[in-house]
Structure 1
């Protein structure tokens, strides 16, 4: 609980949060659990449609870490498929893999132009989150821990000064707090009030999107060549499927992909480079159907499909902020900026910021210091996360032009996210066993802030070279074939990549960390790996094993 006594002149709340989606609600839960008087305001109401439905292992480790660090065990229910189904909702889907299938317009899909990242059995199964249920759960969790939730309150004006924050809502309501966090989205009231939108955005990547929920989407495994032709270790329908092509990608996220599913829906979205695919305007469903006519092997999945809600069609998705922190305010999550849903980084980045912002707000509520300087790291982190994601997605879109180049860039993303997850798992395991967050605070001084693997020089130099190589291809200064050879050479020379994973082998289209490969990776770590990788890999594997034993016990 707070150790500060309140007076009659104090604002009613320590922290007001705009936006009761998963970002605002989890932050409100963390704060309220630790004695911060928290107000959670939202212009809409639950339940409601939202995207950002696919988790990655890094996301799930972060959820468990938040639960442990801030003493909210219910957050762990979001970190595995079985826990989510038992405690939160039976409407989600299971995610055993990330699947990538490359297409050339007007041509049959070639089974050798695929990639798949299989979730290792040592980890939890990941989730396809049915967000209307998950967001309602997190909002209710915040209330359970003492936050005040007000829905259907639109903020029409605000004042922020040395004395605190005043928010004017619809109908003349007024709310007062000592600090304001805006996690509401692109139309952020704080960004509008202080002119924070970066115009034009510094982000290189360009994409727009159209998306909906559908029924009747057929599993790709059923409509294409037999699985033996693809040789993929995990069925496509058991994970998040990405159809990738020159100029864009499509996501297919089923909620009906396990035997006990009670939700027949499937999330479908098409993301396009507007410089390559002009928006025709008008009906987005007509645009979707016209796209399918150009890619008949994708179209097979949708022969019996129909939307169950109106299509959403966007302009350019990318936006950013000139700054995200000021005296008594922070702009975060999708209010701060957005790149693209590729690689499922949105929720992960949000959780990173909640982790860094949470303990600072708890301490500020106790000692009364809400100065911008106290929260400067949060701004640096948000900028780093956005820029790192921009580099990865921009490189991927360049890679989509040619399968061999995409195959190479896919691997640099895969190894960075895997090793970053290993790093974080070791930190979480030691937090869980010791109760000390010392290592988490030390990670804030990492050299490559915002990177999936922020502490490692070699991995980040590999990512930077990949980004630079793809920029040369985009500028017409380098052929895609030579670019692919260059990246594969870098992968082959990297002494920090566990050789049993086979990421430098062109013939290996899959990241499939089977138990034997994990065992061989552990032996490599203990005998031949560079020292820092030995500690990271053995620490992570030890953590995964201890957690499995704990769950079974």
Structure 2
């Protein structure tokens, strides 16, 4: 059976490789090239457990090693990553430095692993996505980049099934004219983001914090502010991915908004005092998107093509990997049948609802 996978991020490339291992004839189609910048960088224990299961089931030894920080560093030192020991939260107040005040300190550390060796990772997506593309090609996937995907091209390629692994407004959303279901979503936030060099450690700008179960910065760091929150993901080579999720639009250019927020929250400003963006600051007015369907006769979407909620709680990588696992099981006996695709569609819809309610509730709590 001929399967076309549209989009060669880590999810599309990994699914294409798994389907090839199963014996399917797979073509992976990509509009751009690699390596390239992407956001969605923070893994979790659920993501790593899923990656390990995929590794064992389909003989993907690199996936097993990429599922834990210690194994990753030994096997793939050239692929940049960041140690993630857990989830760190700070509450900041406008016009006031972060206060270290004993048991009243507004700081929460949630450990996700007992040591560095088995810890999660932040994925530098330019490196990781490129690795998965190369691994797919080595496994026998036909790869075509710089390709404009059209219905005519898929007909020429003889595709029996199409998987959209791209992103919002992707090929299948346009081709099938799928209605938006954005009105169903309760979470609403825009994103102001870049990668930075020279971001300081939190302990350097807020001295006196007691030791926690892990160093504060080796985590998915959440700086809660009145307007939303700031994520900060530090990679092992010193680069930091950071972005403000803002409930309401703010006037001015991305650079003006960034400077305003750093002035408004002095400790965050101190963290980024000497930092420089490695690419121009970018702003997306709303990061949420959702469609009404995720699968049908002869087609399916991976999560990011179907829906996205928010970076809060790092659900993206795990959701994509679980969807790969489910969709691959639908192909194990040939062309997916209607019952399996209906179940896949229902599961993605239910999970989008669950993530949305969780994140929307957290936003309401953060605003108090």
Per the TM superposition, whether the score is higher than 0.5 is yes
Equivalent pair of 1:201/1:319 in contact (CA under 8 Å): no
| Correspondence for 2:99 | 110
Q: Distance in 2 between matches of 1:300 and 1:178?
A: 55
Deviations 1:172-215 (A, max 9, x none): xx422110000110121101121224254311110110111110
Q: Is 2:262 the partner of 1:273? A: no
* 1:82 aligned residue (70, 82, 87): 70
Q: CA RMSD in A?
A: 1.7
TM-score, normalised on structure 2? Answer: 0.94
Structure 1 residue 333: Cα displacement: 2.3
| Correspondence for 1:422 | none
How many pairs does the alignment contain?
Answer: 362
Structure 1 residue 135: Cα displacement: 0.5
Deviations 1:286-340 (A, max 9, x none): 2111111111111110010010112221021111111111110002221101000
Secondary structure of 1:244's aligned partner: strand
* 2:132 aligned residue (138, 143, 146): 138
Q: How does 1:215-294 map to 2 (within 5 A)?
A: 215-228=197-210, 231-256=211-236, 263-274=237-248, 278-281=249-252, 283-294=253-264
CA shift in 2, pair 1:90/1:72, >3 Å: closer
* 1:119 aligned residue (112, 115, 118): 112
| Correspondence for 1:486 | none
More strand by share: 2
Q: Distance in 1 between matches of 2:367 and 2:182?
A: 26
Secondary structure of 1:375's aligned partner: helix
| Correspondence for 1:383 | 349
Q: Highest relative contact order (Cα 8 Å, sep 6+), 1 or 2?
A: 2
Q: Distance in 2 between matches of 1:139 and 1:342?
A: 27
* 1:309 aligned residue (259, 279, 296): 279
Q: Distance in 2 between matches of 1:323 and 1:270?
A: 30
Secondary structure of 2:274's aligned partner: coil
| Correspondence for 2:60 | 72
| Correspondence for 2:288 | 318
Q: How does 1:72-471 map to 2 (within 5 A)?
A: 72-88=60-76, 89-111=78-100, 112-121=105-114, 124-155=118-149, 157-158=150-151, 167=154, 174-228=156-210, 231-256=211-236, 263-274=237-248, 278-281=249-252, 283-365=253-335, 370-402=336-368
| Correspondence for 1:50 | 38
The answer for unaligned runs of 5 or more in structure 2 is: none
Secondary structure of 2:88's aligned partner: strand
Secondary structure of 1:342's aligned partner: coil
Equivalent pair of 2:182/2:291 in contact (CA under 8 Å): no
Deviations 1:510-535 (A, max 9, x none): xxxxxxxxxxxxxxxxxxxxxxxxxx
Determine which structure has more spread, i.e. the larger CA radius of gyration.
1
The answer for unaligned runs of 5 or more in structure 1 is: 1-12, 160-165, 169-173, 257-262, 403-553
Equivalent pair of 1:36/1:362 in contact (CA under 8 Å): no
CA shift in 2, pair 1:300/1:385, >3 Å: same
Q: Distance in 1 between matches of 2:131 and 2:282?
A: 24
Structure 1 residue 358: Cα displacement: 0.3
